Amino acid sequence: MNLEEIDKEFVLHSYGRGYVNFIKGENATLFSEDGTDYIDFASGVGVCSVGHGNKRLADAICEQAKNLLHVSNLWVIEPQALLAKRVVELSGYDMRLFFANSGAEANEGALKIARKYGQLNFDKKRYKVITLENSFHGRTITTVKATGQEKMHTPNFSPYPDGFKHVESIDDIYLNIDDETVAVMIELVQGEGGVEPFKKDEIQNLAKILKSKGLLLIVDEVQTGVYRSGEFLASNYYEIEPDIITLAKGLGGGLPIGAVMTNLKDIFEPGDHGSTFGGNYLVTRGAGVVLDILEQEYKDRAIAKRVELFNENLERLAASLPELFSSTVGLGLMRGLRANSSEIQAQVIKEAFDNRVILLKAGRNTVRFLPPLTISEDEIVEGFKRLEVALSKVGV
């Protein structure tokens, strides 16, 4: 049996896979088993923040693996404590962290924090969380229901947990707050929902109003966090102070890690929440090195320069092809091209791959770009050169 046959025979069919077998990566370039190179404008859906094959990250993983991988959270874990301190300091917020294994788990933790806050701080328990249409918060039963995309709420997995209200806009949030509402959960840039950033003033106003009502603002930064927006957190860019923030994806550079951080520093007590693997030696040691690399890149303005160059190329491409694209969207190195139809979106992604550029699909007919934050100028230039050739083959 070849690899495709083995995969189809033994792995549950939960993904619409491609069957190119990648065996090596160098920064934003991937290599298949036959030696073909691809410019990766996806970075494992925003995960490989310091690129593929990063030597500093690999060395740290190997060194840690030789000593300790895991002892459980029944004991203090030095790199976990140091990583928590580092994330808090980089965020600029006075918070504590809980480490999990994924973004969905981080969001589950955020919802548990909100529910407990609603139990402890009101005469009548508050438990409802308002989220937005086109949002995406995970694929567990609870986070699927928190996700504001009706297509995700199929009867196959029902009944779903109650306590969620999905609304169309920020203005609609205010109309739907009732005496059981405890929190609003929002992505500042909707990733799966179309790489759509919200206006800064409306987010700042939302934060102010929720605070005045004693309600929590949960910001899902699973995709926007760890310099993806150009700042350490998109919350920093929006100049707000959320009550709860969730992180994952780029924090580990490819290692499975999630985190929920909150200013409700004493909300959990032993037994309230837990994770066998969350924040173990291996992943927190690696994530610490990821932050070492990206913090220096940020200070040197290397990330800002890449954002500028990438966006210049994207804007030029969109302007030259109005028959394909209506606009560019996004923030930092979380970008999108809004295609004029879903058919064009699909053609663009296919032709790009055929011309050795990896792109992603997102909602609202968006072609999504999430390159490694360390992508080189040469890789940006080469990627867009290949993309231009690919787009010349897209029919209208």
pLDDT for the residue 227: 98
CB atoms within 10 A of CB 354: 12
CA dist 163 and 128 (Å) reads: 4
Of residues 395 and 111, more confidently modeled: 111
- pLDDT average, residue stretch 148-166: 94
pLDDT for the residue 306: 98
CA dist 120 and 124 (Å) reads: 9
What does the chain come to in residues? 396
CA dist 386 and 363 (Å) reads: 24
CA dist 24 and 35 (Å) reads: 9
- pLDDT average, residue stretch 101-125: 97
Contact of 195 with 189, CB cutoff 8 Å: yes
Does 369 score more than 90 pLDDT?
yes
- pLDDT average, residue stretch 111-128: 97
CA dist 140 and 157 (Å) reads: 10
Strands 244-247 and 258-262 turn out to be antiparallel
Does 69 score more than 70 pLDDT?
yes
- Percent of the chain whose pLDDT exceeds 90: 98
Of 86, 70, 62, whose CA–CA distance to 290 is shortest?
86
Does 148 score more than 80 pLDDT?
yes
- Percent of the chain whose pLDDT exceeds 70: 100
CA distances to 54, 215, 236, 286 from 114, rounded to whole Å, are 37, 9, 22, 29
Q: Which CATH architecture has domain 57-299?
A: 3-Layer(aba) Sandwich (3.40)
Residue 93 has φ and ψ, to the nearest 5°, of -105, 155
Does 170 score more than 60 pLDDT?
yes
Contact of 264 with 40, CB cutoff 8 Å: no
Residue bearing tokens 């409802």: 128
pLDDT digits (tens, 9 = 90+) for 173-214: 999 999 999 999 999 999 989 999 999 999 999 999 999 999
Q: What is the pTM of this model?
A: 0.96
Does 21 score more than 70 pLDDT?
yes
pLDDT for the residue 46: 97
Q: In the chain, helix, strand, coil percent, each to 5?
A: 40, 20, 40
Computed over every residue of the chain, the mean pLDDT equals 97
pLDDT for the residue 395: 75
CATH 3.40.640.10 occupies which residues in the chain? 57-299
pLDDT digits (tens, 9 = 90+) for 234-287: 999 999 999 999 999 999 999 999 999 999 999 999 999 999 999 999 999 999
pLDDT for the residue 396: 52
- pLDDT average, residue stretch 12-31: 96
DSSP 198: P
